Structure 1
């Protein structure tokens, strides 16, 4: 009787529990949010089915307050897509008349295409999440339009190129398409990749809407040199597209050709390889995003995720059949049908045996632990005592503080570092206010510590009880409560004040050394510059001495010769004037006049040259009309030219102006034209002409006289070897004229040179800067 009563009470209790659970379940069912899942069943493969399974398991086991309503899309291929869409919409509307969906989830390209078309009609205002998509362009399915999800980017070019590389000896790629709606979309995506693969000695053959038998007949002749890429399905006897898995299996048995595809379920039906995204990862992401929306996050705040998380699947038997190097396939590929190793074959037994052994070890360990508990307690106590000894006698400070600055724990070294007598006094202070040195940002330190959780070797100054500064090196760690908020800080500090002083002194010493080094280097540079100037002055002094020696040599030679001649003539006149005829006296007078004239010219050149060498020659540049200046000189020298019947021609443009010292240029032109007259044969011609560029005018004095040899040309403008030669009528020269011309032209920022040939004449050429007005006109002309 007592037993029966116990049974009745137990039954009543269990019934009450079941009833209460039923009420709770009914209440939850009434409050469940509704989700409609549309799966592209026609094209379902390992990827989309894997996403669906992951999604279903997540919601069943983790989110039981959400209701999944799963529908597969199986459209009739003999009907248009609009008819199929309408029929399916009618089906959904009728089945779910009383259900208000909170979210639509689509898996696969067909499901997304359908939902996008009918959303405004039957799913208006309902957010849509998509996954398993790799063919549909998802740019229009964005959060702004109520769509978000996971779009997988499959590179067809990368995929096909990898397939082709596995058997490089096969030079013919055969591609099968079909004209279904999905097939057309695949064709649009794959054809651009095929166009990029076209190359010499490689053929691509495209087929569409063939039966399996006709396809085999077309490719049989090229079996040994081909590979097949299945991007579509075969037609059956009813002119409909059949199941690709069965067709692929038959094709692989009847043709000795490697076959590849994009349908992950086909690798078990004779296919060498295909690609599959990570269904588990995509399903997990899809679940996470769905829960966010169902918990209130607007879909506009959930961006589309673009995934490339793809892997290849290979059939190991097919790899061996076509002699494909297993090392050449991508590293993270999935390989099916691989022969089991010994470990794989007997892994279950080994794990069972290991479990028994581990269990035995655990039991034995537990027995030993029970026996050794007292020993462990003793060791723990000793360890605590050692820690306490280290804590009390440590030379570094150990502390624990609250976030607001109260000291919770401090060892004697820490108390001593800050100059206090006991922990009780220290604990009453607001440590982080009263001991912080002015200028140190403790809040910044705490923010950094809370962000990183730990800080090592942090150096900064603190204030001791007596107001002096102590420099500490701190290592600290933050400890948090279960809710993540800060519980306390704990760390150690080391007094590095003496080290800091030594480092500061060392830094100051290094800085002083740097300053000394800079002063030494500056002095060295100045000494070097002085040495350079001294060397330059010495060289200039040498040049001046050489010029002086040459100058005196010229004076002693060139002055003595004409003076001796004059003295000779005057001596004859003085002693024999009574015996000389008038013609002889006239001849002597003319010779004396010529000698004195040349002597005057020599002295004038020597004085000018001397003035240039000593820097006493005034330089006054101005705008000069070269035509006018040349005309004046030609008029001055016309007497000498007339005696020798030499034509003087001025071809300088009347409007040519240069910027130079007029006296110097006058001297240059007079010297050069005088020389030209001197060395031109009677009846000859001298032309003065000019050309200009954007900066300079080039003046040429051209004669058709005796010319100058190459040997003489090299030393023409050198003071070391003055050039002097008798003219065509016996005229003598000073040898200083050309040297003077060179220095005058260079002083006016020009250059001078000569072009000559013996027997044909000479061109003396010099450049001179244009005037500012002339430069502007030249620039405008350019």
Structure 2
């Protein structure tokens, strides 16, 4: 975002009933590149301002009909125009009139006859102030969103950690108090349960740390030219064992694409998440279909399952953190609820897209497209996620 407002993207409304004044102002401002609109009286200004939403209004005080003071008052009462800065154009220098204008909401005065340098200086100053105010408002909204997300994360993470911690505490207390009365098989079962629960907690903490790094812009990509095809094939092979435990058959149709730069670790994380979900939410004896081909300048990776599918309203939420959707893992597999949120952000920072197509009861298809143009073509700042 630039530090200054761009004149070509800035609109100014000039309101004056004197054609000579309009000519002078237009001749002064047009060479600067501002988008200019004019109104010859207060009534016309009140009709035009809500329509064009100017960034600044130059408003003559002395006009027939509705004068500048009344026009300003009405503009400040309208929802669509109340935040637009207004500079009065006037030959009146009485303190009472100046105070009245400020009390009605104007931000400045420009005295007649106009001085070219002064007009430009005052306009630029107030346009910059409005621009900075908008930036600050945008950043404040972003901070509010992040704070709300943080509170949501803390609440959900605390909830998701409470049960595993209670399990660990209960099993360990039992082992401390009565462990000597257990045989080797029972002790092994208790320790295995503690180990499994610790693994679930560690997975949740890793996901939370990844998401925190992404949101704060501290997760750095390390793209290296490599085979996207081989990376997917390698990760898919590790899931054949998990799939076989549920009698799932993995069908792969992977095109041998030319090597291009990407972060193999992070995109491998995306592939793992898509494959893990496909296995996790598929009933026994179903099929999984993996595809990879080239679409224009992108590598297109597709994972399709024969699971329960997603309703339209759930598809809009599937990439949100900690979203609780109707499909459940078919063998009780654990899930942190953060994987797809992280995957979408990683794909996005590579300049790609991740989306889902699904019908309830007919499985889900996740489509990941990654530009093959390499790291040099990534958006500015794309070596970091945030």
Fold shared per TM-score above 0.5: yes
Cα displacement string for residues 618-663 of structure 1 (whole angstroms, at most 9, x for unaligned residues): 0233434221111221233333223223223332212344543322
Post-superposition Cα deviations, 1:314-351, rounded to whole Å, max 9, x if no partner, equal xxxxxxxxxxxxxxxxxxxxxxxxxxxxxxxxxxxxxx
- Structural mapping, 1:691-706, within 5 Å: 691-706=293-308
The answer (yes or no) to whether the contact 2:304–2:363 under 8 Å persists in 1 is yes
Counterpart-to-counterpart distance in 1, 2:157 and 2:322: 14
Q: Secondary structure of the equivalent of 2:162?
A: helix
Q: Report the equivalent of 1:762.
A: 364
The separation in 1 between residues aligned to 2:185 and 2:286, in whole angstroms, is 30
Cα deviation for residue 678 of structure 1 reads 1.0
Contact 1:660–1:769 (Cα < 8 Å) also in 2: no
Residue 641 (structure 1) aligns with: 243
Tell me, yes or no, if the aligned pair for 1:724 and 1:732 is still in contact at 8 Å: no
1:618 aligns with 2:220: yes
Is the partner of 1:706 in helix, strand or coil?
coil
Tell me the secondary structure at the aligned position of residue 164 of structure 2.
Answer: helix
Note if contact 2:235-2:268 (Cα within 8 Å) is conserved in structure 1.
yes
In structure 2, what is the Cα distance between the partners aligned to 1:635 and 1:740?
23
- 1:719 equivalent to 2:321? Answer yes
1:548 paired with 2:150, answer: yes
SS of 2:115's equivalent in the other structure is: helix
- SS at 2:212's partner residue? helix
Shift of the 645–757 alpha-carbon distance from structure 1 to 2, 3 Å rule, reads same
Kindly indicate whether residue 300 of structure 2 is the aligned counterpart of residue 729 of structure 1: no
Q: Please say if 1:514 is aligned against 2:94.
A: no
Match of residue 171 from structure 2: 569
Q: Residues 421-470 of structure 1: CA distance to partner in whole angstroms, max 9, x if unpaired?
A: xxxxxxxxxxxxxxxxxxxxxxxxxxxxxxxxxxxxxxxxxxxxxxxxxx
Q: Residue 233 of structure 2 aligns with which residue?
A: 631
CA RMSD of aligned residues (A): 2.6
Match of 1:585 in 2: 187
Q: For the Cα contact (< 8 Å) 1:726–1:733, is it kept in 2? A: no
Distance 1:656 1:554, change over 3 A: farther
1:739 Cα offset (Å)? 0.9
Q: What displacement does 1:709 show?
A: 3.3
**Structure 1 residues 638 and 568, CA gap change in structure 2 (3 angstroms):** farther
TM-superposed deviation, 1:556: 0.7
Question: Which residues of 2 match residues 339-738 of structure 1 at below 5 A?
Answer: 513-719=115-321, 721-723=323-325, 726-738=328-340
Distance 1:685 1:589 in 2: 34
The total of aligned residue pairs comes to 266
Provide the rounded CA distance (Å) in 1 between the counterparts of 2:284 and 2:191.
24
Deviations 1:92-113 (A, max 9, x none): xxxxxxxxxxxxxxxxxxxxxx
Residue 557 of structure 1 deviates from its aligned partner by 1.2
Q: Which structure carries more relative contact order (alpha carbon 8 Å, separation 6+)?
A: 2
Deviation at 1:723, TM superposition (A): 4.5
Q: SS of 2:180's equivalent?
A: coil
Does the C-alpha gap of structure 1 residues 559 and 720 become closer, same or farther in structure 2, counting only changes over 3 Å?
A: closer
1: distance between equivalents of 2:354 and 2:129? Answer: 38
Quote the Cα distance in structure 1 between the aligned partners of 2:359 and 2:257. 32
Q: Say whether the 8 Å CA contact 1:652–1:689 is kept in structure 2.
A: yes
State the TM-score, normalizing by the size of structure 1.
0.32
Q: How far apart, CA to CA, are the structure 2 residues paired with 1:707 and 1:592?
A: 33
Tell me how far 1:603 sits from its aligned partner: 1.2
Displacement, 1:575? 2.5
Structure 1 distance, partners of 2:276, 2:308, is 14
Quickly say closer, same or farther: Cα 1:511–1:748, change in 2 above 3 A: farther
Residue deviations 1:66-100 (CA, integer Å, cap 9, x gap): xxxxxxxxxxxxxxxxxxxxxxxxxxxxxxxxxxx
| SS in structure 2 of the partner of residue 718 of structure 1 | coil
| SS of residue matched to 1:767 | strand
Structure showing greater radius of gyration is 1
Q: TM-score, normalised by structure 2?
A: 0.63
Cα displacement string for residues 174-229 of structure 1 (whole angstroms, at most 9, x for unaligned residues): xxxxxxxxxxxxxxxxxxxxxxxxxxxxxxxxxxxxxxxxxxxxxxxxxxxxxxxx
Q: Which runs of 5+ in 2 are unaligned?
A: 1-110, 378-386
* Partner Cα distance (2:368, 2:201) in 1: 27
Deviation, 1:768, is 0.9
Indicate the residue corresponding to 1:405 in structure 2.
none
Q: Secondary structure at the match of 2:366?
A: strand
Whether the 8 Å contact between 1:608 and 1:617 is mirrored in structure 2 is yes
Distance 2:314 2:175 in 1: 39
| Structure 1, unaligned runs of 5 or more | 1-508, 776-782
Q: Does the aligned pair in 2 maintain the 1:722–1:736 contact within 8 Å?
A: no
Deviation readout 1:252-276 (Å, 9 max, x if unpaired)? xxxxxxxxxxxxxxxxxxxxxxxxx
Per-residue CA deviation, residues 686-719 of structure 1 (Å, 9 max, x unaligned), is: 2221232222222111112232333432321123
1:746 aligned partner: 348
Structure 2 CA distance for aligned equivalents of residues 722 and 621 of structure 1: 33
Aligned to 2:18: none
Check conservation: 1:605, 1:736, Cα contact below 8 A. yes
Distance 1:616 1:637, change over 3 A: same
Q: How does 1:132-531 map to 2 (within 5 A)?
A: 513-531=115-133
